[in-house]
Amino acid sequence: MPKSDQWTMKDVAQLAGVSIATVSRVLNHPEQVNRKTIERVKAALDSVSYSPNGWAQATARTGPPLVGLVLPDILNPFFAAVYVGMNEVLRAQGITLWMADSQNRVDYEREALETLQRYRAQGIVLIPTHSSANLATVYKMDAAVCVVDRKLQDNAWDLVVIDNLLGGRQATQLLIDAGHTRIAIITGPEASTSANDRYRGYLSAMEQNGLTVPEEYVKVGDFKQFSGFALGQALLQLPERPTAIFSCNNLMTMGLLEAIRASSGLDLGLGVAVVGFDEIPIATLVKPPLTVVASPVKELGVQAVRLILERIENPEKGRETVLLPPQLMIRGSERLTKSSQSVTTSSSQ
C-alpha cells in the first residue's frame, strides 16, 4: 500500500472503479459528472486523504517557496496595503505571492486554504473572516502559517496584529479631552477580534473617565461603507444625539461622513465630531481634516513575510507574536467649532 502522501490519481480511480479521466473531471469539472459518480470518487479521495498538488507537480518543489495570502476584502485599502507590503519583500527574493479574496465569507476562505494546501504552498498568511469558523482547516495546513490583523480563537500560530485595544482607548480619550461626554461608537462584526479590541478600548476610556455609554450609542456594523452610512444616520437621528462618533474602520468612516453630509443642519465639526480608525484617501481633503488612528499597514505585511520565511527555515522555532503600535494622526475633526455649540444644545432639548 502506498504511503498517505504517495497516493496517485490512478490509485483513486481503481478504488472508485472509474477511469483516471473521470477522477480528473470530478476534481476539475464536477458539473460534467453525475452525482452518484461524484460521491463514489469523493469517498475514495477521502479514504486515502488524496490531495492533488497542482503547481507543485510542475515545480516538483525544487523552485522557491510559494506563499499564499488569504484576505477578507481586496477592495479595502487596508488589506490591499498588507498585500503590497508582502509583495515588495517577496518579489525582491524571487518568491511568488498568490492572493485570494474571501469576500468576508467563511466558505470562500476555506476553499482558498484548501487550494493552497493542494498546491503545496509552503507559507500561508491568513487574515481571518472569523475567529473560529475555519480552525479545523487551518490546523490541517502543512504550510507555515502566520495570522495577521485578526486573531484566531486558538493562539497556535505566528501572529502580527495592531494594538487595537490601545488604538480604541487613544481615539476615545482624545474625544474626551476635546470636551465630549456623549460619545458613540460604530464598531465591527462580533466575530472580528480587531473590532472587539477597539470596542474594549473605547469602553475602557469611557469607564476610566466616569462616562456612561447608552445602549443606543453602540452600533455594530460589518466593516462596509454602507453600514457606516446607515448606522451614522441612526445615531444622528437620536433625540439626544452624540456630539462625537468613533468609527472603527476606514470604510465605515467613509459611510459615516456621507451620513453627516446628508444630515440637515450638521457637518463635520458642526454639531458632530469624528475620529476614525485607519486612514482614508480623503482624510486631509475634508474640512476639518479627519483625525484617525493610523495603523502601520504595510509593516503588517512585511512582518508576516519575515515570520513565514523564518518558519519555513525552522519549523520547530517558538511561536512569535508581533504587536505593532498605532499612531494618532490629530488633524482637527475631534473638536466642535464654536458655531456648533448652538446646534449641539438644541439637539438635547
- For residue 1, being part of any structural domain is answered with no
In this predicted model, what pLDDT tens digit does every residue of 229-267 receive, in sequence order? 999 999 999 999 999 999 999 999 999 999 999 987 889
C-alpha distances (whole Å) from 4 to each of 7, 19, 49, 244 are: 6, 21, 7, 59
Considering its fold, how many domains does the chain have in total?
A: 3
In this predicted model, what pLDDT tens digit does every residue of 72-122 receive, in sequence order? 999 999 999 999 999 999 998 888 899 999 999 999 999 999 999 988 898
- For residue 246, being part of any structural domain is answered with yes
User: Do 71 and 188 have their domain in common?
Assistant: no
C-alpha distances (whole Å) from 98 to each of 71, 101, 102, 297 are: 11, 10, 13, 19
Q: Quick one: CA torsion of 332, 333, 339, 345, rounded to 10 degrees? A: -130
User: Do 15 and 96 have their domain in common?
Assistant: no
Q: For residue 341, what pLDDT is reported?
A: 52
Q: Are 53 and 63 in contact (CB under 8 A)?
A: no
User: Do 81 and 208 have their domain in common?
Assistant: no
CA distance 293 to 320: 25
Burial of 148 (0-12, 13-18, 19+ CB in 10 A): buried
User: Do 84 and 170 have their domain in common?
Assistant: no
- Extract the C-alpha cell encoding 176: 474626551
Q: Are 39 and 212 in contact (CB under 8 A)?
A: no
User: Do 207 and 341 have their domain in common?
Assistant: yes
- For residue 75, being part of any structural domain is answered with yes
For residue 349, pLDDT beyond 50: no
Q: For residue 1, what pLDDT is reported?
A: 43
CA 135 to chain centre: 16
User: Do 339 and 202 have their domain in common?
Assistant: yes
User: Do 268 and 291 have their domain in common?
Assistant: yes
SS (H, E, C) 253-294: HHHHHHHHHHCCCCEECEEEEEEEECCCCCCCCCCCCCEEEE
Q: For residue 88, what pLDDT is reported?
A: 94
- For residue 61, being part of any structural domain is answered with yes
Q: For residue 63, what pLDDT is reported?
A: 53
User: Do 306 and 290 have their domain in common?
Assistant: no
Nearest to 221 by CA among 165, 276, 149: 276
User: Do 304 and 188 have their domain in common?
Assistant: no
User: Do 19 and 85 have their domain in common?
Assistant: no
Which range is least confidently modeled, 31-45, 94-108, 333-347?
A: 333-347
- For residue 4, being part of any structural domain is answered with no
Q: Are 66 and 33 in contact (CB under 8 A)?
A: no
User: Do 45 and 64 have their domain in common?
Assistant: no
- Extract the C-alpha cell encoding 29: 469539472
Domain that holds residue 242: 164-296+329-347
- Extract the C-alpha cell encoding 272: 458632530
User: Do 97 and 140 have their domain in common?
Assistant: yes
- Quickly list H helices, 30-183: 35-48, 54-59, 77-92, 106-118, 135-139, 164-177
Instruction: Say what percent of the chain tops pLDDT 70.
Output: 87
For residue 5, the SS3 value is coil
Q: How confident is the model at residue 61 (pLDDT cuts 50, 70, 90)?
A: very low
- CATH number, domain of 242, equals 3.40.50.2300
- For residue 103, being part of any structural domain is answered with yes
- For residue 37, being part of any structural domain is answered with yes
CA distance 206 to 181: 9
Q: Are 36 and 65 in contact (CB under 8 A)?
A: no
